[in-house]
Amino acid sequence: MNPIKTPTAQADVIVVGGGIMGAASAFFLRQRGRSVILLERGLVGQQASGVNFGNVRRQGRFLPQLPLANRSRAIWGRLNELLGEDAEFLPTGHIRICYRDEQVGVLEQYAKDARTYGLDLEMIGRNALRERFPFIGPEALAGSYSPTDGHANPRLAAPAFGRAAARNGAQVFENTEIAVVEKTGEDFLVSATDGRQFRAPALLIAAGAWGTHLSSQFGEPVPQSVHGPQMGVTEPLPYRIQPVLGVSTTVTEEVVYLRQIPRGNVIFGGGNRGPAYPDLRRSYVLPTNTMNQLPQLKRLVPALANVNIIRVWSGIEAYLPDDRPVMGPSSRVPGLYYAFGFCGHGFQLGPGVGDVMAELIDAGATSTPLDPFSIARFLQG
Amino acid sequence: MAGSRVIVVGAGPAGVRAAEILAEAGLAPIVINEGSRDGGQIYRRQPDNFSRPPSKLYGTEAAKATALHAAFDGLRRRVDYRPDTLAWNVTPGVLHTVHHGQTQDIPFDALIVCSGATDRLMPVKGWNLSGTYSLGAAQIALKAQAVSIGRRVAFLGTGPLLYLVASQYQAAGAEVAGVFDTSPFALRVKALPKLLARPAVLAKGLALVAKLKRAGIPVETGVTPVEIAGTPDAGVSGLVLRDRAGRVREIACDAVALGYHLRPETQLADLARCDFAFDAESRQWLPTIDADGRSSVPGVYLAGDGARILGADGAEAAGALAALAALRDLGHDVADGRIDALRRDCARMDRFRRGLVEAFPWPAANAAALPDETVVCRCEAITAGELRRVARAMGATEANRAKAFSRVGMGRCQGRYCGQAGAEIIAAAIDTPVESVGRLRGQAPVKPFSLSATPLADQKGTEQGTPA
Ligand SMILES: Cc1cc2nc3c(=O)[nH]c(=O)nc-3n(C[C@H](O)[C@H](O)[C@H](O)COP(=O)(O)OP(=O)(O)OC[C@H]3O[C@@H](n4cnc5c(N)ncnc54)[C@H](O)[C@@H]3O)c2cc1C
Ligand SMILES: Cc1cc2nc3c(=O)[nH]c(=O)nc-3n(C[C@H](O)[C@H](O)[C@H](O)COP(=O)(O)OP(=O)(O)OC[C@H]3O[C@@H](n4cnc5c(N)ncnc54)[C@H](O)[C@@H]3O)c2cc1C
């Protein structure tokens, strides 16, 4: 145990990790009047939260996650007003198309099931799809349309939460890497690599792909694997594609998704993931993966056939074996909470996760069901 | 060893001399060139159907140009030359190219990057008007296509190229409105000891300036650019500057050629994961290399203007030296004497390089003075004011962070032209040393390539690594 010095700061809650999860949690804790310390190793929103595809998509999610996703979607709708900054959320709709008959059935079933969770999806047949969204390629057999989903700018969203939290009184420490988290008596003592210490009776670990390093210190490691989804962006083109498009398929190589921003660039991702090295904070795009994306992009939107790619990138994301995040209270230590390991789909959830975690920490319970995400599911024995 | 796979990127002076050494050793290197002809920037060969004589194209450098061209012509059977081929990415041990819409992954044991330089640009209000070109573009228009960028051209910036291109324009019969150098004359005097490392080159430079003056062309030093005047419809109508005496004047012209010496093309080195260090003299980040051109990554060598702006002669020496270093690392016998001689050459060239940097400094202070409405990133049309706002109000004190918030450097050129000026603007806005602002990370592709590209048939399914 570390010698106890005068802590650099103390508060009701310490949040470790300034991605969208941590930054939004800090913001909503302040909304509830809790004092908060937000600790970030680099800069707020610099990791997965800042480099992701920007999909604010609910359809296709694990059904029991929809209440959380719906709650998040509602916050996205009033984000600018809440934060006083524009994160470029555009509810332009989201379409999942498919190329195979059996997949049409899968989309139909999902649409039916999602309705009971309050998510209305419209199934659109082949011809109607082409009439309403003429840019979609002729191979698409059907589409599932979610009119109220859309996309946002990941480069802006998490930093906007961080700044709004700071304006509302959160103590935000960037360039602060946490080495040791421990409970001493009633309080958590959180120590940075440079020796600074922070103290609070509640601790939220929201450290993304690095969360398991910290949860391990409380005897709760998780069996994650880490990968880098492969992204790219084209040169600016006339703004024609409003909704976000994605392919629903069981063949990994066929998966591609894209969105066009009003500036004109088309951002895309999908297919096989690339290598990511959390210890080095590096992730890479494999050129083969980019090359495999190209025919799929053209298949989805044939008009893209001759446009130029100007940049590719990736980011570091943790995946759990069941493709669900770790969220909720610790199964071992009172006052300890987790929100990490979002398996490639955490950007949409971010605002909702912040709101739910703040509610859980402040009120001791939340109206949004979190059981499927409990860390207890990974406990040995 | 004999079967070592060596790739040279670039067919300028550095690339050609590197290939020559490798071919001599029997290695049959692959030479990748984005352009269709060899010669590189300075000894750029004209398209096949053009027939200007070398003396006309290369002036005093004609003999060197023809020698380099002849050397490369003589190599053609011993190297695998791939023109019109862009090296768009590097992953460990593999170079990724695209040629006429076909991509290829080429494994290598040694990669010698001789990617040359581009103009180093400092924005000025109005530089986004049509009629403003970089010095390099102005020179390419003349060398490759025999056209001038305007009827009456003003030359603004600093560095030897400013005078060279102006005199080439003058010799070609274009009207030169004047040469306006931001560097004060006194610095040239101060840099003299270093410039004397290459007395002949220095003499050529002095002769060039004298010739411009004799032709009646105004040549001014110590100027401060104020604005390129004009309208979006009609383009450039004049160059407004504050002269050495402090008077603000407008020089009538319909085109401006602009450049502040050069910056190395370092994206391939960056993608190859080479270390970079801040060079305080030239105020730019340069890949770290040893005396022979070895980068921090084993098997990756950097030579010519793409590593240090040594000029064409220096590029020839550095290219040869890097190839010898690669040969030695691959287990070939290389005589010490050969390496030592080239090292001495390169050291002398490097001393001269530092003289040029001292005589023609990058006008960092101009960045601080740019009016807020000046466009900095021309690809994305982002202004100095916006960049200052994200630095001050949003805490974006680092180059990549500022890019994320403002889009400066997010366009087609990926910040190659605005990155260095952008860093100076941020540094001035928040009063911090420019090195602490860092540099924009290079991201593939090195230049845009079309979605229509397909992998060469035998490449399908090649695996370059396994996901972690
Ligand atoms: C390329 C890519 C594309 C994606 N596309 C989408 C998409 O379109 N839609 C979607 O919903 N989701 C998407 N995702 C997933 C989504 O981005 C993530 O699930 C989400 O951003 C995770 O947020 P986070 O806050 O948990 O993690 P992060 O954003 O990674 O934040 C964790 C933070 O914790 C900090 N940290 C870690 N350890 C420490 C420590 N010891 N001390 C201090 N700080 C520490 C890190 O520096 C980091 O800033 C994508 C992810 C990637 C990588
Ligand atoms: C615009 C400009 C004009 C110049 N004019 C003069 C002059 O008139 N006189 C003078 O003394 N010096 C001049 N210089 C400096 C001079 O060009 C150099 O000193 C010399 O040409 C450097 O040789 P090099 O081999 O290092 O690079 P270069 O001659 O620039 O050759 C670079 C080579 O690399 C290739 N290349 C680069 N990137 C890639 C890639 N990703 N994929 C494939 N191929 C690639 C290019 O096609 C080219 O063949 C000029 C420089 C510039 C930028």
| pLDDT tens digit sequence for A59-104 | 999 999 999 999 999 999 999 999 999 999 999 999 999 999 999 9
Q: Give SS3 for B318.
A: helix
Which helix (H) or strand (E) segment is B355 a member of? helix B336-359
Cα distance between residue B327 and residue A368, in whole Å:
65
- Show the CA angle centred on residue B409, arms to residues B408 and B413, nearest 5°: 140
Topology, domain A94-147+229-314: D-Amino Acid Oxidase; Chain A, domain 2 (3.30.9)
Q: What angle do CA B272, B274, B276 make, to 5 degrees?
A: 140
Q: Shortest CA distance to B285 belongs to which of B315, B312, B264? A: B264
* Chain-chain contact of B463 with A46 (C-beta, under 8 angstroms): no
| C-beta separation of A22 from A361 below 8 A | no
Task: Write down the H helix ranges in B215-279.
Answer: 267-271
| pLDDT for residue A163 is more than 50 | yes
> Using CB atoms and an 8 Å cut-off, which of residues 233-272 of chain A contact chain B?
234-235, 263, 272
Chain B residues within an 8 Å CB radius of A304: 451
Other beta carbons within 10 angstroms of residue B173's beta carbon come to 7
What pTM was computed for the model? 0.95
pLDDT in tens for each of the 468 residues of chain B?
A: 558 999 999 999 999 999 999 999 999 999 999 999 999 988 888 877 778 888 888 888 899 999 999 999 999 999 999 999 999 999 999 999 999 999 999 999 999 999 999 999 999 999 999 999 999 999 989 887 889 999 999 999 999 999 999 999 999 999 999 999 999 999 999 999 999 999 999 999 999 999 999 999 999 999 999 999 999 999 999 999 999 999 999 999 999 999 999 999 999 999 999 999 999 999 999 999 999 999 999 999 999 999 999 999 999 999 999 999 999 999 999 999 999 999 999 999 999 999 999 999 999 999 999 999 999 999 999 999 999 999 999 999 999 999 999 999 999 999 999 999 999 999 999 999 999 999 999 999 999 999 999 998 765 443 333 332
For chain B, which residues make up each domain, given as ranges?
6-118+263-356, 121-260, 365-437
pLDDT 10s digits, A182-230: 999 999 999 999 999 999 999 999 999 999 999 999 999 999 999 999 9
- Rounded to the nearest 10°, the torsion over CA B134, B136, B141, B147 is 70
Q: In chain B, positions 414-443, which contact chain A (CB-CB < 8 Å)?
A: 414, 443
CB pairs under 8 A between A and B: 92
Give the whole-angstrom CA distance, residue A177 versus residue A318.
19
CATH class of B365-437: mainly alpha
B6-118+263-356 and B121-260, same CATH topology = yes
CATH superfamily of B6-118+263-356: FAD/NAD(P)-binding domain (3.50.50.60)
Best of A88, A261, A265, A286 to disrupt the B interface (most B CBs within 10 Å) is A286
pLDDT of residue B56: 82
Contact predicate B274/B307, CB 8 Å: no
- What is B403-459 written as a DSSP string? HHHH-TT-STTTTTTTHHHHHHHHHHHHT--HHHH--PPP-S-SS-EETT-EE-GGG
Residue B350: its H or E element: helix B336-359
Q: What is the CATH number of domain B121-260?
A: 3.50.50.60
Strands A282-283 and A308-313: unpaired
The residue to which tokens 């040239």 are assigned:
B188
Alpha helices in chain A (DSSP H): 20-31, 48-51, 66-77, 79-83, 101-115, 126-132, 154-167, 211-216, 287-300, 346-363
> How does DSSP classify residue A307?
P
CA distances to A138, B54, B69, B209 from B63, rounded to whole Å, are: 60, 8, 10, 22
* Segments in B230-310 forming alpha helices (H): 267-271
Query: pLDDT tens digits for B349-383?
Result: 999 999 999 999 999 999 999 999 999 999 999 99
| CATH class given for the domain over A9-51+155-223+321-378 | alpha beta
A-contacting residues in B 384-413 (Cβ below 8 Å): 394-395, 398, 401, 404-405, 407, 410-412
Domain ranges of chain A: 9-51+155-223+321-378, 94-147+229-314
B353 three-class SS: helix
CB contact under 8 A, A306 and B105: no
DSSP characters over B265-285: --HHHHHTT--EEEETTTTEE
pLDDT at B459: 53
A284, A287, A304 ranked by CB distance to B451: nearest: A304
Kindly report, residue by residue over A25-34, the tens digit of the pLDDT: 999 999 999 9
Q: Which helix (H) or strand (E) holds A7?
A: none
Instruction: Burial-class residue B281 by CB neighbours within 10 Å (0-12, 13-18, 19+).
Output: exposed
Residue A185's Cβ-count burial label (10 Å; 0-12, 13-18, 19+) is exposed
SS3 A225: strand
* The token pair that represents B412 in the structure block: 């087609």
DSSP character at residue B45: P
ipTM above 0.90 for this complex: yes
